[in-house]
Amino acid sequence: MFDSLQKLDNKEFEANPDLALMLIPDITIFVNLWLTIGAFAAMQPNYAKMNHMGQGFKTVCTDLIKLFNNNPRWKSIEFNLREAANVSVALTVLKVGNEKFIGDICDIIRMKINDEAEP
């Protein structure tokens, strides 16, 4: 399925800014990808007994984390509280162990809660 994908260098996005709009999902699609993959993972046979997900799930999660960290279209601070919470739910369902990414999502949630708590 992913055989035809080609990696683009950031220089190509700088030279052609419209590529980011065409090739990189917006935040809503990004969050929905996490939730969809999480729902699919939870339907796997013997899900409750698994300590970790299979290689296919790990590969997609790794790619989504790379997209979060290295995309030219949006910044993580653009997430709202609901979107960040939904990603955290998917991380739990998918049994993702990337502590840096989990910490980044927690930081977003903490920041958004503090923003909403301020008068």
Which pLDDT score is estimated for 69?
Answer: 86
**Is the four-CA dihedral 15, 17, 20, 21 of positive or negative sign?**
negative
Which pLDDT score is estimated for 20?
Answer: 61
Which pLDDT score is estimated for 7?
Answer: 60
Which pLDDT score is estimated for 98?
Answer: 93
Which pLDDT score is estimated for 2?
Answer: 43
> Which among 105, 64, 103, 100 has a CA at the least distance from the CA of 85?
105
Specify the pTM. Answer: 0.75
Using 70 as the pLDDT threshold, list the residues of the chain that sit under it: 1-10, 13, 17, 19-24, 119
